[in-house]
Amino acid sequence: MSDEVDFKVQQATRRRRRLLIVVTVGFLSWQSGLLLSLLRIDQGHVRAIDFVRLAGFALWVVALLWAIFSGWSMSSDPDVRDALNDELTQANRAEAFRFGFLFTLLAASAAYALALFQPVTALETLPLVIVAGVASASFRFLYLDRR
């Protein structure tokens, strides 16, 4: 690997990390509005904007999962793209996936425990479970990628 490619790889890695931070934090900030929309839908007060918010949520989940698990190659250079998806990145991704799965189960268990004391609907629970899984996987990947 030439110094030039190595420099490009480091630049692209930093860019990928910064973008992932922005997208994950944006994703989490989106949640308050989404939860209010879901409560309105749950209570039968449906507005078109609520479905737009839901579609945005789904799109954001897919984008984040794609970003973490596809490598999100930040370069058109094939050498840089390969290097950004090397064995270490794949191992970090697998660990992030495992972490996300664990948090998904924890969030689902917490929702189940809560449901024993008060009624909770799928519309209230599922977004929280999805957010817990996706955001924890994303943060774990960021942590491992910084080592």
Using rule CB under 8 A, residue 75 touches another protein: no
How would you class 76 by CB atoms within 10 Å of its CB: exposed for 0-12, middle for 13-18, buried for 19 or more? Answer: exposed
Using rule CB under 8 A, residue 82 touches another protein: yes
Span of 14-22, 82-90, 105-113, 119-127 interacting with another protein by CB under 8 A: 82-90
Using rule CB under 8 A, residue 43 touches another protein: no
Check the CA dihedral 31-35-41-47 and report its sign: negative
Using rule CB under 8 A, residue 13 touches another protein: yes
Binding site for another protein (CB under 8 A): 1-3, 5-6, 9-10, 13, 82-84, 86-89, 91, 147
